[in-house]
Structure 1
Amino acid sequence: MRVGLNCGNDGIAERDWYGVAPDAGQKRRGLDSPFSFPSKGTIDSVVVMALLSSILALRRDARILKIPPYLSALCLIVGIAWLLVLPLNEYSRGTYISENALLPGQVHTYFGGSEHNVFRAYRHEVFGLIDKPVEERSHKLETIFKEQNLKVATQKYNFTVSNRTIANENVYAILQGPRADATEAIVLVGAWRNMDNEINNSGVALVLTLARYFKRWSLWSKDIIFLVSGDSTIGPQAWVDAYHDAHDERYVEGLKIKSGALQAAVAVDYPAGPWGHRYEKLHIVYDGVNGQLPNLDLFNTAVQIASGQMGIACGIQNMWRHNDAYKVRLETMFRGMLSQGMGYATGPHSSFIPYHVDAITLQTVGDGWHDEISLGKTVESLFRSLNNLLEHFHQSFFFYLLLHSNRFVSIGTYLPSAMLIAVNFSIAAIALWVQSGRSTEPIANPASTAPKDKISDKPASTSSENPSTSAAADPGTVKEPPNPPSPAVEVIKKDGAVSIVPKSLTTVSERHLLLPLAFVLVLHFAGLIPLYVFNHWDEDHLQGLFLTAANITVVIPIGIAFVFFNNRPLSTQETTLIQCFSLLLLGVFLAVLATLNFSLSFLVGVSCIPFSFIRRTGSLGLNVALLGLMALLNPLLVMHAATYLLGGNMALILEKAAQGWHIWGLWTQVVVFLVWLPAWAINTSVIATGAFE
């Protein structure tokens, strides 16, 4: 049967309890009769309108806002768990060569014999240049290259970073391939000092020896460039910048001679002294600036030649004893992520990768029975494989995580973990946006579509249904029961169906966006101040500046909250919108960053996890406790604590960061000072406003 709906004076007459009025066609067919059955189309219309009313009502249902925190937590748990299962065999793969033209280890190497004596002679000559001035050292190296009938040139560079001048000189020579047309080249690098600031005595001597040795072969289809750089990072960066005409002539001298497009680069780090040193294994360093990586085929070729052809064990990420167990794989992966996330140059090879020149460094480690001849044979075989390339490296992966020298995880497998962390912030932002537009007018059971008399706590009185019966029971009563005031309603039409819902369900509170948007943008752009100061401050006082900045940034959010409290207190909606915009920007930044530098995105995202759940409350004590927790999450304090726990040197890290900004184009500081630190400051300021109320 039908139930009437009294809508007051809004002109809406009898309706069934679904809120759908019978149309004229239904009346002609007698469907308004209590003994008639509606058609299928009428039933579908009723169901659609019931669902529409329910969906509209969900906007005001308080239960809907209880879901996002659990959904965010689910994304975080799955994202972190996803990363932890990557070392398992089911989620990782063994390495393989994708470019068939490389043919690693398929050639017979001839380096040895008389070349061993030549190497020893060069090593003593290099040892004699250690205490010589830069100009005299460069002149001697230039003379050696000229004796081998190679084209030789030098390049000077002079940088000023953190009030410290860095000046040195590169020496390089070009071997024109007998079968080459000067359109492609391969680079062999021997830095004068390695990453540990040791004299790369045997490494430079090996470069000189291989230059003499390669000159005798007529099989080269590419030019070979031999580079002896002044140091391991700045010198190669100055040279490769000038090679691609991307240098600043105020600090870097241009190159006098060039060859063709660089296809690959291999650096040798062998700091053995004049009497030599036998090593145990090769440590292959592959991390580039800003987390960029060389093509996996180059790494796999070096590993296959060294371990397969020469019998030299290979290691990565300073893992000297790797038993291929889950724990060791996980540690190797985390070390690689930390190095990639920091983004600094890890060797001479790092400077080449931003120019899409795949490069690695071969570093000798340990005490064993391998000597310079085995290393020379490895480099020879590697260069002969690179000589076979018909086009640039492109077949294999450029984005990967290495678990071992022969096992990796591709981007399609590991990327979802960082994306889930980023999505968590977007979910929290959407929930805050919905919350900011909710009206304060309460509605009982807003998502229900049941009739009013069905959801009422008390059943409807029979007197209200049959007034005549009530009058018969009490003849003296002639007054009709008063009708409660009808709520404002709105007619919703969709696809020919009509539904009536209270206006409070469809009305959204006006959002005041100007102040929240301005506040978020100002704090994000304020990150330019520490970005500039840390990259231009005096090197000797960088660590003191860092500790001072860490203390100041803890106080700044409290000062911001105090200013607002005394001049213009923020409303609940405004604080909600401030956190909403902050988390939305954080989620977008991290999602984009994950495709460029997965490790940095993941590390920053994990550090920002509490921002998704910490909110301002009405309790003063709880707000103060949350404020203390946020103070411990200060990015500068987190970085200082992480450096201490990992045994790092904060002063050295700050120095390398400043060098990276001016020389390598490092943008890790941009993420820290323009994304992470502002997100923390914004959320901490919101919590601090609750402590003043």
Structure 2
Amino acid sequence: MVESEPLKPKPRPIVRIGIFLISHSLLISIVCCTAGVLALLLLPVLAKNTYISENALVPGSAHPMLTSQDVSEANKFVKEITNLKPTGTSIGIPGLIAQHMVDLGAEVCYHKFHPQLNKFHPLHFFSGPDSGIIQENCSCSSYSINTVGIIRAPRGDGKEAIVLVTPYNSVNVSLGEALSLGIAFSVFSLLTRVTWLAKDIIWLAADSQHGEYASVAAWLRDYQTPLFGGFAKLNSEMCHESSMLYELKKSPVTGAEVSDVFRRAGTMAAALVIKVADGNDEVEKETLSIYAEASNGQMPNLDLINVVSYLAVHGQGLRVKVEKFSSLLDSKWLRVLGETFESLGKVARSLNPQWKFGMPVADYIEGTATLASSLYHQALGVPTGPHGAFRDYQVDAITLEISPIVSSNKGRQNEFLLRGGRLVEGVLRTVNNLLEKFHQSFFLYLLTSPSKFVSVGVYMIAFALLVAPLPLAAASLYSDANKLDSSSEKDTLTSSSASVDVPSITFKSWNWLHDAKTVFVVHIWSVIITLLPFFISQILNCTPTNSLLIWVLLSVFCLLALRMILGSSFSLTSVSQLQKKEWALLKSVTISAAFVGLCLMSVINFATAEIGALLIVPMCSMATPLRFELKARSLRFITRAACNLVLAFIGFPPNAYVISKGLFEGFGSMNVGDFWNWLESLRAWNSATYLYVCMVHIPCWVLCVYILLHHC
């Protein structure tokens, strides 16, 4: 009686699902990539209306207390500023602001700082620019002075504060800057008299002659860092107290001595940056523009934007807008897509009236233009205003830019000051109601309009669909390479003795280490090219185009040198086997590295990972040696080879930058050196996008090109 062989246990269901997905990776990759792009285009349709999550805010629950008398005093203050002639040391306006603060009964101090350089520091990439570097050969006259006034809350314990920031150029103040100071003065004057204030109020009149961000960041750095002793002792090595600061403290404009001790209030609950843009006669209604993006895609709590938008529209009748790409408003393909979604929405509502799918074409186009702008500015990682300095300290802050209507009528200016002041008063009173920091609403979101947003739970679906094919494709390529190893191993067993093929069997499972070493060498090279721009920027009188060419040439030289030193190839397999499987293993490791890089970037800046996936995933998925494609001489393979060449051309970072900028701004004024300037701005602001471009995108592009040229 012959014993039957025992049945092999069936693999677990999750293993069978994994095997099925890997065996059909090509079809699944096409479906996932298509669905990911479609999900990205559907985001404006899936956007939800904004709402106040924190019940304690209750915006608009109290009537405004700002009166026409406050506006009249603010108007006089604006006239004093505009009529004041700047002195040689530019101390007139800071002294005037300090005098009015003292008259209101506030605690006043000066904050002296020096314009500072942004220099490369690899450990500061995930915060704001390195603002702790003082310019060399600086003079005392180049110092700027912030004026800080603090109102102590009668109902508070001094543990929390709200910051109001008004940037202005003390050397040449504009009418818009004077109006922003007037709005802040009217609100500040009101808050010195109210009894409901539970949080301290800090008014920072930031001297922005060397940059708005620099002045706010300098004050914040000193606010968060304990300093002992008077302010004059802090800079005694560079400037004497008896020079500019002493002259300002004893200035006849001030009329009173202001303390040189750096004054603080409580922990910052929120911050508002008030700016007034140049007016426009063609505009029939005052407009409020909200800027919220900070460094590396950080956003303030959505409740703060919702409060400002609600009070501006329903309280003061302002038109609220957020930044958008105007070039997309006239896009024909976007209009066709909007018409398609609108038609599908009508069909869906005819089947079930409760299905709220689709939107008007005009709303879709405007929502897409706003979404693209929000995604781009978050991915760029550069703050869109001085509010970005607060987000580096985890303080919710936004910039409010009010655009008035230009008119010589005095009543029009008074009405504008009244509207702006009541808006700021309402926002401060609403934040004053908070019992804790903003935490109820979203921190990860994309705006499609001032009243619509897409949460992270929705827009992460598009990214997940885009990157899902990468691990499946890597596993499929590795599996196919192992099958080739198995077939070659069987041939060896039939033609050779056992003593000869044992080393081949032992080494077979480690063949991927050779390709992993190649990928590792390329990523070591990426670290080198990340550091090169810092040294190239030290070359004097070097144009951006020449700097870019030097960077490319040095990068190629370093890659060849590393290849010669560390990248010597070795293999115990035959040349025929290399042609069949070596590129597959290399592509498998490359795809795995791209997947890891995108996932890590999504933790730091989701918008950057989203845009990067649109370029990297198709390029890595389709990369195949051109020799094999052209050798087949069929239309399908030749088409795939052409697609590979197009993707490699578009995926090259300078080309991708020039094409994207040309599509949004036009190709008339394009210059190759613009990419270098863009890269330098990312490096100066310590944007993590710079690390992504140099250490994730460029290595993947080089490896894909290496696969395309494999055995050519």
Which bracket does the TM-score occupy, shorter chain normalised? 0.7 to 0.9
Shift in Å, 1:237: 2.1
| Residue 406 (structure 1) shift | 1.2
Q: Distance in 2 between matches of 1:255 and 1:621?
A: 75
What is the DSSP-based 3-state SS (H/G/I as helix, E as strand, rest coil) of the residue aligned with 2:479? helix
Query: Structure 2 matches for 1:34-53, cutoff 5 A?
Result: 46=7
Counterpart for residue 473 of structure 1: none
Q: In the alignment, which of 100, 109, 113 is matched to residue 64 of structure 2?
A: 109
Residue of structure 2 aligned with 1:142, choices 98, 120, 127: 98
Counterpart in 2 of 1:97? Answer: 52
Letter aligned with residue 280 of structure 1: E
Given that 2:529 and 2:555 are in contact with CA atoms closer than 8 Å, whether structure 1 keeps it comes out as no
Does residue 303 in structure 1 map to residue 309 in structure 2?
Answer: yes
Deviation at 1:488, TM superposition (A): 13
Q: 1:225 to 1:125 in 2, by over 3 A?
A: same
**What does 1:223-302 correspond to in 2, within 5 Å?**
223-229=200-206, 230=208, 231-245=211-225, 256-272=262-278, 280-302=286-308
Q: 1:678 to 1:654 in 2, by over 3 A?
A: same
Q: Quick check: 1:635 aligned with 2:611?
A: no
2:533 maps to which residue?
A: 534
Give CA-to-partner distance per residue, 1:428-470, whole Å, 9 cap, x none.
2222322333334549xxxxxxxxxxxxxxxxxxxxxxxxxxx
Could you say what secondary structure the match of 1:263 adopts? strand
Q: 1:435 to 1:371 in 2, by over 3 A?
A: same
8 A contact 1:439–1:508 mirrored in 2: no
1:77 Cα deviation (Å)? 1.0
Q: Distance in 2 between matches of 1:590 and 1:522?
A: 19
Q: Distance in 1 between matches of 2:261 and 2:589?
A: 49
Secondary structure at the residue paired with 1:408? Answer: strand
Q: 1:179-223 deviations in whole A, cap 9, x for unaligned?
A: 1111000011111269xx976232123223322232122221000
The DSSP-based 3-state class of the residue aligned with 1:211 is helix
- 1:681 is matched with which residue? 702
1:76 aligns with 2:33: yes
How has the CA–CA distance of structure 1 residues 294 and 317 changed in structure 2, closer, same or farther, with 3 Å as cutoff? same
Q: Deviations over 1:501-537 (max 9, x none)?
A: xx9xx99933234443333233223333343343561
Q: Corresponding residue for 1:160?
A: 117
Q: In structure 2, do the counterparts of structure 1 residues 541 and 149 end up closer, same or farther at CA, with 3 Å as the change threshold?
A: farther
CA deviations 1:598-640 (Å, max 9, x no partner) are 2111101111121111122444967996567524421122123
Sort the Cα spacing of 1:577 and 1:152 in 2 relative to 1 into closer, same or farther, 3 A.
farther
Change (3 A) 1:106 1:620: closer
- What corresponds to 1:187 in structure 2? 163
- Post-superposition Cα deviations, 1:543-588, rounded to whole Å, max 9, x if no partner, equal 2255416754896699589969997478455543333222212212
Counting aligned pairs with the same residue, the percent is 22
Note the C-alpha offset of 1:242.
2.6
Q: Which whole-Å CA distance do the structure 2 matches of 1:629 and 1:82 have between them?
A: 21
SS at match of 1:304: helix
Q: Which amino acid is 2:166 matched to?
A: G
User: Partners of 1:361 and 1:526 in 2: how far apart?
Assistant: 40
Question: Of 196, 202, 208, which residue of structure 1 is paired with 2:185?
Answer: 208
Q: In the alignment, what sits opposite 2:464?
A: 419
Alpha-carbon distance in 2 for matches of 1:140, 1:542: 43
Map of 1:351 onto structure 2:
389
Cα distance, 1:652 vs. partner? 7.8
Question: 1:67-109 CA deviation, whole Å, 9 max, x = no partner?
Answer: 2222222221111111212222xx3221111111111011111
**CA spacing shift, 1:167–1:666, aligned 2, 3 Å:** farther
**Could you say what the CA RMSD is over the residues aligned between the two structures, in angstroms?**
4.5
Aligned equivalent of 1:614: 623
Tell me the secondary structure at the aligned position of residue 172 of structure 1. Answer: strand
Gaps of 5+ in 2: 120-134, 228-233, 240-259, 330-359, 407-411, 489-493, 572-577, 632-637
Alpha-carbon distance between aligned partners in 1 of 2:483 and 2:514, rounded to the nearest angstrom? 19
Is the CA contact 1:558–1:688 (under 8 Å) kept in the aligned structure 2? Answer: no
Are 1:218 and 2:195 counterparts? yes
Corresponding residue for residue 587 of structure 1: 595
Note if 1:548 corresponds to 2:549.
Answer: yes
Alignment of structure 1 residues 457-472 onto 2, 5 Å: none
Matched residue, 1:172: 148
Q: Which residue of 1 aligns with 2:248?
A: none
Larger Rg: 1
For 1:306 and 1:203, how far apart are their aligned partners in 2? 16
- 1: distance between equivalents of 2:507 and 2:710? 25
Offset at residue 319 of structure 1 (A): 7.2
**Structure-2-length-normalised TM-score:** 0.72
For 1:638 and 1:228, how far apart are their aligned partners in 2?
41
Determine helix, strand or coil for the equivalent of 1:101.
Answer: coil
Map 1:396-407 to 2 at 5 A.
Answer: 396-407=441-452
Q: Secondary structure at the match of 2:274?
A: strand
CA shift, 1:111, in A, is 1.7
| 653-662 or 113-122, larger mean C-alpha shift | 653-662
CA–CA separation in structure 2 for the residues paired with 1:612 and 1:515 = 21
Equivalent residue for 1:361?
399
SS at match of 2:665: coil
